[in-house]
Amino acid sequence: MKSRIVVSVVLLFAIALAACTPAAATGPIKIAHLAPLSGPVPTFGASTRDGGLLAMEEWNAKGGVLGRKLEAIVEDSQCTPDPAVNAANKVIDQDKVHYIVGETCSKASIPVSEIAQEKGVVMISPTSTNPTVTLKADGTAKDYVFRACFIDPFQGAVMAKFAMGKGYKTAFIMLDQGNDYVRGLAEAFEKAWTEMGGQVVGKETYTSQDTDFSAILTKVADSKAEVLWLPDYYNIVNLVAAQAKEKGVTAVLMGGDGWDSSDLDLKAADGGYFSNHYSPEDTRPIVQEWVKKYQAKYGSVPDALATLAYDATNILIAAIEKAGADDPAKVKDAIASGTFEAVSGTIKFDQYHNPIKSAAVLQVKDGKVSFIESVAP
């Protein structure tokens, strides 16, 4: 009888304690990674996931953050608006995450950013470069949304200047109007190029479903353009580059970070140039250390996507630590006001929640991608 009373008193205490300690404050801190593991650009997804998970593993090996372990929730968001929105709602509503790293592609990050902002969940896109990802309609920053990369007006201008510097005067622009990233980067290049006195001798659009670009490429060949500006992802670049060779296009192909993939067709794109966020050839110790540990874990050299996902995840966790609480409202302020030593450079956010960072110009040549130069803003 007596022992039964003791048991029930203990039980009552336990229930009372559980009621006033929110379960979330004792369990792991969850971070969702929205990565395009399937869909048009699966290498983007694999790299983003691998970089983000490595950062979490390192923090967990040191004991986690705020005395709690970190738990990763990885969702396949397909570089596509609907699956990305579904993944965001799932991790927020079911898994109750307060933090999202992702998406990779601007087109998917834009609708996800609306949800994160509305639900008060901190989001850092590692790689989405379209300006609207972090902006509200009135042009001010979405206070919960950040990115770890530079934006397209910058990388478009970097490549326009680079092309000019090589003595080229004429460019042909190809773009997929249904892709926010491609459209934005096409516009950014055109603006910078024409402002510098460059000529646009042709501009043609296609859709992401197209596989035959011969009609457009005939026009490119006829235009005698010196540069073919092709700011799309590697899957499209591979098709266009191979067909451009067949059509006898002599223009030098140029593009942006979307070319960065272990699946880029180095033979077809030979001689082409693209801007990117980092180069594994960078001699800074933080970069070389990163390349070494990524290689040890995954057996390959990290691309920009893996690197930026690692940076984005580290920024987020460092901000949780600095905020001293698993509270997205405080964590967003810690991100906005902090300075972070990242692999891709020192990161400090401007009023639009964009880091100010340099770009690397890379060349595809003789079966490999080589570093040409670094360009500061």
User: Which CB, 260 or 282, lies closer to ligand PHE?
Assistant: 260
Of 100, 200, 82, the C-alpha closest to 147 is 100
User: Which CB, 217 or 306, lies closer to ligand PHE?
Assistant: 306
- Give the whole-angstrom CA distance, residue 40 versus residue 237: 12
User: Which CB, 29 or 157, lies closer to ligand PHE?
Assistant: 157
Residue 164 corresponds to which tokens in the numbers above?
């000019």
User: Which CB, 129 or 235, lies closer to ligand PHE?
Assistant: 129
Phi, psi of 123 (to 5 degrees): -125, 130
- Give the whole-angstrom CA distance, residue 322 versus residue 320: 5
Compute how many other C-beta atoms are within 10 angstroms of the C-beta atom of residue 352.
Answer: 16
CB distance 196 to 161 below 8 Å: yes
Q: Which of residues 118-147 bind ligand PHE (CB under 6 A)?
A: 127-130
The C-alpha torsion from 153 through 158 and 159 to 163, rounded to 10°, is: 130
Size of the site for ligand PHE (CB under 6 A): 14
Select from 83-91, 191-199, 256-264, 366-374 the region that touches ligand PHE (CB under 6 A).
Answer: 256-264
- Give the whole-angstrom CA distance, residue 147 versus residue 353: 7
Q: Which of residues 314-373 bind ligand PHE (CB under 6 A)?
A: none
Residue span 195-224 as binding mask against ligand PHE, x where in contact by CB under 6 A, dash where not? ------------------------------
CB of 62 to ligand PHE, least distance (A): 28
User: Which CB, 113 or 129, lies closer to ligand PHE?
Assistant: 129
Task: Please select the residue that binds ligand PHE; options are 75, 176, 232, 257, rule is CB under 6 A.
Answer: 257
CA 324 to chain CA mean position, Å: 27
Residue span 89-108 as binding mask against ligand PHE, x where in contact by CB under 6 A, dash where not? ---------------xxx--
User: Which CB, 130 or 235, lies closer to ligand PHE?
Assistant: 130
**What string of DSSP letters covers 141-161?**
BPTTEEESS--HHHHHHHHHH
Residue span 178-197 as binding mask against ligand PHE, x where in contact by CB under 6 A, dash where not? ---x----------------
- Give the whole-angstrom CA distance, residue 115 versus residue 282: 36
**What one-letter code names the amino acid at 44?**
F
Q: Which of residues 17-46 bind ligand PHE (CB under 6 A)?
A: 44
Our finding on whether 50 is near ligand PHE (CB under 6 A) is no
CA 374 to chain CA mean position, Å: 19
User: Which CB, 92 or 360, lies closer to ligand PHE?
Assistant: 360
Residue span 282-311 as binding mask against ligand PHE, x where in contact by CB under 6 A, dash where not? ----------------------xx------
User: Which CB, 201 or 308, lies closer to ligand PHE?
Assistant: 308
CB of 297 to ligand PHE, least distance (A): 20
Of 50, 40, 129, 35, the C-alpha closest to 87 is 35
- Give the whole-angstrom CA distance, residue 196 versus residue 189: 11
- Give the whole-angstrom CA distance, residue 147 versus residue 116: 13
**What one-letter code names the amino acid at 87?**
A
Interacting residues with ligand PHE (CB under 6 A): 44, 104-106, 127-130, 181, 257-258, 260, 304-305
